[in-house]
């Protein structure tokens, strides 16, 4: 019983600081809004739906896991960037010198600006990939690969911007 009382005494201290939250985000109390600009596709090889998918998934992640208001232009936080690479490579080669596995890799360069706390701003590239059997054509598996890659990249961006993991 005593341990429970001690634990209950610390909860207001943890939540009262205004920066820590149980959703895993570390957002200063004076930061109220975020602008997620369209992630532009500047890769040599273009997946026509990738830019929109990545942008919308980022917005949804911030909407779902933070109290930040989405502001199209003047957010306290600004996330903008470019898809810089979208490529497939042979990963594993068999004894007959034929690829047995391929990898789809996407690289996104993000510029994160924190207007209220500029020391937290950064520019960084995020990379995610998925492997697939060479017996499958990219056209056949591309949609599911891209969904998985976008989920990974969105998690990485979210963690580096507001979760500080």
Q: Domain-by-domain residue ranges, the chain?
A: 27-163
Question: Is 0.85 surpassed by the pTM of this model?
Answer: no
**Sheet strands (E) in the chain:** 33-36, 40-41, 69-70, 77-93, 99-114, 122-133
Give the three-state DSSP class for 1: coil
> Would you say domain 27-163 falls under CATH 1.10.472.10?
no
Strands 99-114 and 77-93 come out as antiparallel
| Other Cβ atoms closer than 10 A to 66 | 21
Predicted pLDDT at 17: 42
Share of the chain above pLDDT 90, in %: 75
Higher-confidence residue: 163 or 40? 40
Predicted pLDDT at 92: 73
Predicted pLDDT at 98: 72
Distance from C-alpha of 5 to C-alpha of 143, rounded to nearest angstrom: 51
Predicted pLDDT at 115: 97
- Quote the crossing angle between the two packed helices 50-65 and 138-158, to the nearest 10°: 40
Residue range 94-112, pLDDT digits in tens:
667 677 899 999 999 999 9
């Amino acid at each position: 019983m005593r341990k429970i009382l001690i634990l209950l005494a610390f909860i207001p201290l943890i939540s009262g600081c205004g920066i820590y939250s149980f959703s895993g985000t570390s957002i200063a109390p004076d930061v109220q809004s975020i602008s997620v600009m369209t992630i532009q596709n500047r890769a040599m090889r273009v997946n026509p739906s990738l830019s929109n998918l990545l942008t919308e998934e980022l917005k949804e992640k911030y909407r779902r896991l933070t109290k930040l208001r989405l502001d199209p232009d003047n957010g306290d936080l600004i996330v903008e960037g470019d898809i810089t690479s979208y490529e497939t490579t042979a990963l594993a080669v068999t004894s007959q010198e034929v690829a047995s596995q391929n990898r789809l890799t996407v690289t996104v360069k993000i510029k994160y600006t924190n207007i209220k706390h500029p020391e937290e701003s950064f520019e960084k590239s995020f990379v995610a990939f998925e492997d697939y059997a060479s017996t499958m054509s990219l056209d056949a598996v591309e949609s599911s690969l891209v969904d998985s890659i976008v989920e990974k990249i969105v998690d990485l961006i979210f963690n580096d911007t507001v979760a500080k993991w």
